[in-house]
Amino acid sequence: MSATIQHVSVVVRLMCSTRGGLVALLVLVNTLPMVAMPMFARGRDGWFAGGFTVDAFALSVLFVPVCRWALGSCLGHRRAQTSAALLPLSPRQRAVAEAIGMLVAIAVPMAVISAPLAAIVGISPASVVFWRSIGTLLCVQAAMALPHLILASFDREATYSHRLWIRWLAGPTLTALCLSIPAMQSFFGYVAVGVLVAAAALVWGPVAWLAGQPRPRRVFIAPTESPARKGASDPVAMLSRDFRRGLGYGAARGVIWSLALVCPLVVFRWWRFPELAAAGAIVIAATIAGRYPLGLSPRVVGVHWVNNGDFGRAWSTLPIPASAVARAVYLHIALCSAVVLAVCIAVLAAAGPATTTAGLVVMVAGLALVGIRTHNAVGSVRAWQWSWVVGAASIGCVWLARVGLDPSRHTTIAAGMVAVAVLGAVAVCLSPAHLVRSPQA
Amino acid sequence: MTDETLVQVTDLRVARGGFALHIPKWTVEPGCVVGVVGPNGSGKTTLLDCLAGLIRPAHGRVRVLGRDPIADPAFVRSRAGFMSDERPLFDLNVGKLLQTLSGYYATWDAELVAHLLVRFAVDPAARVRELSKGQGTCVRVIAALAFRPAVVVLDEPGTGLDLGARQALLHSVLEIARDPVRSVIISSHQLTDLERITDALLVLRAGKVVAQGATDSVVPEGQSLQEALLQLRASGAEMSA
């Protein structure tokens, strides 16, 4: 027990003291209330009113990578980077400790931040309404995040890494239960569902029968070469072929995933606006497509330590200029992100000011992801700096738009932000030499 | 030195933080196996990275197959195979990984790949991330040999290899050495293996060349490579004192 408590305190301390942990905390503190807020009753301050919607479904699916990344940021993303997996704790103990640690780390700053914000809107931080709202929000968030946190913890156990697909089921399962069973629309019902799903994940997660069966040993077959790849005399031409193939492969994979995620919504008619379901499907497809530059996962293996730019390093001894690889990665991610951003603008233009904030936030995330992804893949310091500049500028634009401008002009601002991103992409692609990590002098 | 010299290094100087590598002159002729040896931090990997064009020298001249690997990396890398234990691999299955790489080399030999997969006992259906350290090394070696490069540069290829894989590696290296127009440069701490297969040695210590030349001239009669290196180390320590 003392080891579990010790691990909780370590997680809290790491979340609050490491750069990755603080960024993760910032993301979670911002995203969790976005999902939970619509569940409050209008006109009844601080009361939970159910109202679990399609938006919550989409965002609860987004929790999966956010939670996983948050845990990885403070404890290490892979087994090779962390000694957490070697601690004298069982996987279940460790999962519970990490989930509790994360929730504590999220709850405290959220309560601290909420007090001055409540005072601004005229609610006294000492009032019952304030504490009831905060308490309800935290309970709802904890119920929502708990299954994801537990699965995220199991993810980092190399032993269970072959059944990662299970984590994607937690969000939809939780949502489907809440949408289907009327009793779950109450506060206690909702919290009960969250805790039960988390408990199910905790109990069944490390059980062998959930694991994928090991593949049967195949008869040895030498890898055959496709006619397209045979005897490529021009490696750069092959790279551009792989670039196009990567776009097609990523798009196909994205479409399959988006259909899998959106189909339940369509089949059970859980949407209010069919256009939003279509837009969501395109956004999911493009986001997933963006994860496979050149048709490959940017995740590489076999290095003793993991640095940003390992994907680029994996190409380093092939007969292709590093700048060509960097440019291909950047273009791939920029193209996929452009689709996401274009859809967001279209939704924004069609739906009007009501969805302005959510749309702009999604765009900010999209723009920043272009830079972060590229940085991760090819180790481009410029892309990293660019993503922070664009992200910060975009957040500034969002706040300026919200505070000082007429809602009808928000779409114009959004279009301007996309134009900045596209111009940036063009500028970077025209000077690829600056994108790559140059050989050390 | 001949026109056919595969690797030519002249007055190479590389500075990395507090470390400095200086190679006054070093050449690799066709049809030989050259060992690069020295203690940890002596500059072996830095030198081999210079040959691959991954590090820009502060001064001096590096030519691989007559070309500058920094100025003409595509030419050099399509004719020279580089293997390093720390080079990341794409997260695919082994067969798919090799197929992906095959498109980038005009001289890729699928039959040789099939042969090497059997020799190194690597399952082409296995996912790269599921391979052991030694199996990962085998895959890197196979990728470096698969396009029949004129120069093969192997940086610590013996790391994590079991006896069978080490034998397979030595076999492959000797096969290349039998070809009169190809060479192997190999950096390793497996001194017994190196002594068996190398024709020439380059001994480095703290970024300086301690000895170089034919293996027979570096390793005196009646001594092993390990003993010769210890002797060189002791004499170097005396000189510094």
Measure Cα distances from A365 to A27, A275, A379, A390, B28 in Å: 10, 21, 20, 10, 53
Burial label, A252 (beta-carbon count in 10 A; 0-12, 13-18, 19+)? middle
For testing contact with chain A, the best of B14, B49, B102 (most A CBs within 10 A): B102
Query: Rounded to whole angstroms, how far apart are CA atoms A250 and A293?
Result: 8
Partner residue opposite A222 with nearest CB, options B81, B110, B128 = B110
In this predicted structure, which of A220-234, A333-347, A426-440 has the lowest mean pLDDT? A426-440
CA distance B116 to chain A (A): 10
Q: B111 to chain A: nearest residue by CA? A: A222
Taking only the tens place, the pLDDT of each residue in A57-73 is 666 666 667 777 777 77
Under the banding of pLDDT at 50, 70 and 90, the label for residue A348 is low
Residue A417, SS3? helix
Query: Kind and range of the H or E element at A68?
Result: helix A54-75
A126-171, pLDDT tens digit by residue? Answer: 777 778 777 887 887 788 788 888 877 776 665 555 555 666 666 6
Is A226–B99 a contact, with Cβ atoms under 8 angstroms apart?
yes
In a mutagenesis test of the A interface, which of B91, B111, B115 is the best target, namely the one with the most A β-carbons within 10 Å?
B91
What does the alpha-carbon distance between residue A426 and residue A404 come to, in Å, rounded to a whole number? 31
CATH number (3.90.1150.10, 2.40.110.10, 3.40.50.300, 3.40.190.10) of B7-86+152-231 reads 3.40.50.300
Least confident of A109-118, A376-385, A396-405, B68-77: A396-405
**Percent of chain A with pLDDT strictly greater than 90:** 0
User: Span A109-130, mean pLDDT?
Assistant: 76
Model-level ipTM above the cut of 0.85: no
Mean pLDDT of A376-398: 66
Query: What pLDDT, on the 0 to 100 scale, is given for residue A437?
Result: 42
Q: Which of A242, A228, A137, A226 is nearest to A190 (CA)?
A: A137
Tell me whether residues B118 and A220 touch, CB distance under 8 A: yes
Cα–Cα distance for residue pair B133/B165, rounded to 1 Å: 12
Q: B29 with B82: CB under 8 angstroms?
A: no
Q: Average of pLDDT values for A169-177? A: 68
Contact between chains at A235 and B58 (C-beta distance less than 8 A): no
**DSSP per position, A177-211:** HHHH-GGGGSHHHHHHHHHHHHHHHHHHTT-GGGS
Query: Which contiguous run of DSSP H or E holds residue A301?
Result: strand A300-301
Give the C-alpha separation, A307 to A299, whole Å: 11
Q: Do B105 and A235 touch (CB under 8 A)?
A: yes
- A82 is written with which tokens? 């962390």
pLDDT-derived band at B8, boundaries 50, 70, 90: very high
Q: How confident is the model at residue A305 (pLDDT cuts 50, 70, 90)?
A: low
Predicted pLDDT at B21 = 92
Any CB–CB contact under 8 A between B59 and chain A?
Answer: no
Closest to A432 measured CA to CA, from A308, A323, A343, A293: A323
What's the rounded Cα separation, in Å, for the pair B104 and B98? 10
- What's the residue count for chain A? 441
What would the two tokens of residue A404 be?
A: 């000082």
Mean pLDDT for all residues in chain B: 86
Q: Does A230 sit within 8 Å of B102, measured CB to CB? A: yes
**Cβ within 8 Å, pair B16-A300:** no
Tell me which of B68, B100, B142 to substitute to probe the interface with A (most A C-beta atoms closer than 10 Å). Answer: B100
Residue A167: the pLDDT is 63
pLDDT value, residue A3: 74
Q: What is the dihedral of CA A91, A95, A101, A106, to 10 degrees?
A: 160
Cα angle A13, A17, A19 (rounded to 5 degrees) comes to 135
Helix (H, G, I), strand (E, B) or coil at A302: coil
The size of the A-B interface in CB pairs under 8 A is 136
Mean pLDDT, chain A, integer: 70
Q: What is the CA radius of gyration of chain A?
A: 23
- Judge whether residue A273 has pLDDT over 70: no
Integer Cα distance of A315 and A331 in angstroms: 17
Q: Does B58 touch chain A (CB under 8 A)?
A: yes
On the question of pLDDT at A81 being above 60, the answer is no
How long a stretch of residues is chain B?
241
Q: pLDDT tens digits for B158-199?
A: 877 888 888 888 888 888 878 888 999 999 888 888 888 899
Average pLDDT over residues A389-398: 65
| A125 DSSP assignment | T
Selecting from B75, B89, B99 the residue whose C-beta is nearest the C-beta of A301 gives B89
Three-state secondary structure of chain B: CCCCCCEEEEEEEEEECCEEEEEEEEEECCCCEEEEECCCCCCHHHHHHHHHCCECCCEEEEEECCECCCCCHHHHHHHEEEEECCCCEECCEHHHHHHHHHCCCCCCCHHHHHHHHHHCCCCCCCEHHHCCHHHHHHHHHHHHHCCCCCEEEEECCCCCCCHHHHHHHHHHHHHHHHCCCCEEEEECCCHHHHHHHCCEEEEEECCEEEEEEEHHHHCCCCCCHHHHHHHHHHHHHHHHC
Q: Is the pLDDT of residue B240 over 50?
A: no
* pLDDT band, very low/low/confident/very high, at A214 (cuts 50, 70, 90): very low
H/E segment holding residue A300: strand A300-301
Percent of chain B's residues with pLDDT above 90: 29
The C-alpha atoms of residue A373 and residue A291 are separated, in whole angstroms, by: 8
Instruction: Say yes or no to pLDDT of A56 above 70.
Output: no
- Among the listed ranges A296-300, A435-439, B139-143, B159-163, which one has the minimum average pLDDT value? A435-439
Interface of B with A in 113-132 (CB under 8 A): 113-114, 117-118, 123-125, 128-129, 131
Per-residue pLDDT of A1-30, as tens digits, reads 677 888 888 888 888 877 777 877 777 777
So what's the pLDDT on residue A301?
A: 74
B11-34 pLDDT per residue, tens: 999 987 788 899 999 999 998 999
Q: Please tell me the number of Cα atoms within 13 Å of A165 on its side-chain side.
A: 7
Full-model pTM: 0.67
Q: Taking phi first (over 0 means left), then psi (-120 to 50 degrees means alpha), and beta for anything else, what does residue B86 get?
A: alpha
Q: Is it the case that residue A290 has pLDDT exceeding 90?
A: no
| Stronger pLDDT, B212 or A342, i.e. the higher one | B212
The confidence score (pLDDT) of residue A422 equals 58
Residue among A222, A238, A314 whose CB faces B104 most closely: A238
Q: Decide if pLDDT at A38 tops 90.
A: no
Q: What is the per-residue pLDDT across B94-146, written as a single tens digit (0 to 9) for each?
A: 988 888 888 888 888 888 999 999 999 898 888 887 888 888 889 999 999 99
Is the pLDDT at A98 greater than 80? The verdict is: yes
Query: If DSSP codes are grouped into helix, strand and coil, which group holds residue A212?
Result: coil
**Residue in chain A nearest B79 by alpha carbon:** A319
First to last CA, chain B: 36
| A52-56, A248-252, B79-83, B91-95, range with the lowest pLDDT | A52-56
Residue A37 has pLDDT above 80, yes or no: no
What are the C-alpha distances in Å from B169 to residues A267, B41, B160? Answer: 57, 24, 12
Q: What was the pLDDT predicted at B65? A: 92
Selected residue with higher pLDDT from B209 and A197: B209
The pLDDT value given to residue A369: 64
Spatial CB neighbours of A278, under 8 Å, sequence gap ≥ 6? none
